[in-house]
A and B are shown apart, each in its own frame.
Chain A
Amino acid sequence: DTAVSQTPKYLVTQMGNDKSIKCEQNLGHDTMYWYKQDSKKFLKIMFSYNNKELIINETVPNRFSPKSPDKAHLNLHINSLELGDSAVYFCASSQERRPRVFGAGTRLSVL
C-alpha cells in the first residue's frame, strides 16, 4: 500500500490549459503539503493544509488552487498553464511537525 499516492505521474499539456493533480495519503496524518521542484532541484513549499484548513499559502500565482475535501486528500488545480509551470510537483504529509512523507511526484511539462 502506497503511503502517499499522486496521480498522474506524468502530465504533458499545452499552454493555456487547465489541469489537476490528485493526492491521497493513508497514513492518518493531519497535515498535507504541495511542493514544487524546479529544474535546479529547488524544493519550494506552495501550500499546506492541516485538518482540511489552509495554514501555509506561499507566494504562488492565483492560477494555483489547492483543495482538501478531507484530511486524507489534497488536490492541486492549475488554470491557464504557463511554460514556467513545468516542474515536478510533490505532495507530502506529516503528523504535526514530524517528518514529511513524500509522494512519487508528478512531472508536469507545459509545451
Chain B
Amino acid sequence: QQPVQSPQAVILREGEDAVINCSSSKALYSVHWYRQKHGEAPVFLMILLKGGEQKGHDKISASFNEKKQQSSLYLTASQLSYSGTYFCGTEIAGSARQLTFGSGTQLTVLP
C-alpha cells in the first residue's frame, strides 16, 4: 500500500528549513528516503529501520516513529542543491523486499 507524503510541493528561500512527512497505514519494517533531480535517477539519502531512530548527514536528517508508522525528513538551512523531488519508500513488516514509494514532494529552493 502506497505511503502518503505531504506536502506535495514546497518552495523555500536558501537558508530556510523544511519538513517532509511520510505516513503508512501498515506496520513498517523500514523507511527509505530518496531525492530525484529533474531528468535523473532517484538517489538514496538514508534508511531508517524499525526501532524508532533518527539519522542524518550534513543538514538533512530523518526520524521514524514506529508507533505512528510515520517518518519525517528534515532539511535545515537549505541550499540550492537541495532542489528536487523527495520520495519516501516504505517496506511493510513481513513483506518480500517490496519498497513502495510515496507520490513525492517537489522541493524548490530559490536564491
Q: A and B bound?
A: yes
Closest to B42 in A: A102
How many Å from the CB of A10 to the closest CB on chain B? Answer: 12
Is A22 located at the chain interface by the 8 A CB criterion? Answer: no
- Mask, A29-52, CB within 8 Å of B = 1, is 001000000001111110010100
Q: Are A43 and B87 in contact (CB under 8 A)?
A: yes
Q: Are B43 and A102 in contact (CB under 8 A)?
A: yes
| A contact residues around B1 at 8 Å (CB) | none
A100 to B88, CA, bound (A): 12
- Mask, B72-111, CB within 8 Å of A = 1, is 0000000000000101010100001111110110000000
| A contact residues around B97 at 8 Å (CB) | 31, 48, 50, 55-56, 94, 96-97
B: which residues have CB within 8 A of A? 29-30, 32, 34, 36, 40-44, 47, 85, 87, 89, 91, 96-101, 103-104
Can you list 6 pairs linking A and B with CB atoms under 8 Å apart?
A48-B96, A55-B97, A90-B41, A100-B44, A102-B41, A104-B41
